[in-house]
Amino acid sequence: MYSVGIDIIDIERIKKSVSSDKFVSRVFSKKELDYFSSKKNPYPSMAGSWAAKEAFSKALSTGVRGFSLNEVSVLHNDFGAPFLELSGKALKIAKNLSFSVSISHTDTLATAVVIAYTLEKHAVK
């Protein structure tokens, strides 16, 4: 099974939103905040993470229901490639799925694509 979600966000919109501590704590995990703090300009990365979380919810075909956005952490491997780390209700909802993530941005926009898939083998009849 495959399902795809995509999202695009104006970086300036995220820059304005993160001035609210309530928004930041509702949306981002501690690990993400640590990553952002290492950036000279964190806003494109924050917008990319937001877009990935929205794309994740679309790949689930649920929207953001039944889990909190801060339960979906957008982290990066040693080569900089993004991946999702799920916790809490998000992990329970997506327990049988794996995800592939791609994030990109310009000076003004960030976008992300999330592909959800299962590795089920079909029985031969």
Which SS3 state, helix, strand or coil, does residue 120 take? coil
Structural domain boundaries, residue 78: 2-117
Q: Is 125 inside a domain boundary?
A: no
- The CATH number for 93's domain is 3.90.470.20
Q: Is 42 inside a domain boundary?
A: yes
pLDDT in tens, 65-113: 889 999 999 999 999 999 999 999 999 999 889 999 999 999 999 999 9
pTM over the 0.85 mark: yes
Q: Is 112 inside a domain boundary?
A: yes
What pLDDT is recorded for position 22?
Answer: 94
pLDDT in tens, 25-80: 999 999 999 999 999 999 999 999 999 999 999 999 887 888 999 999 999 999 99
Active-site positions read 58, 105
Q: Is 80 inside a domain boundary?
A: yes
Q: Residue 7 pLDDT > 80, yes or no?
A: yes
Q: How many domains are there within the chain?
A: 1
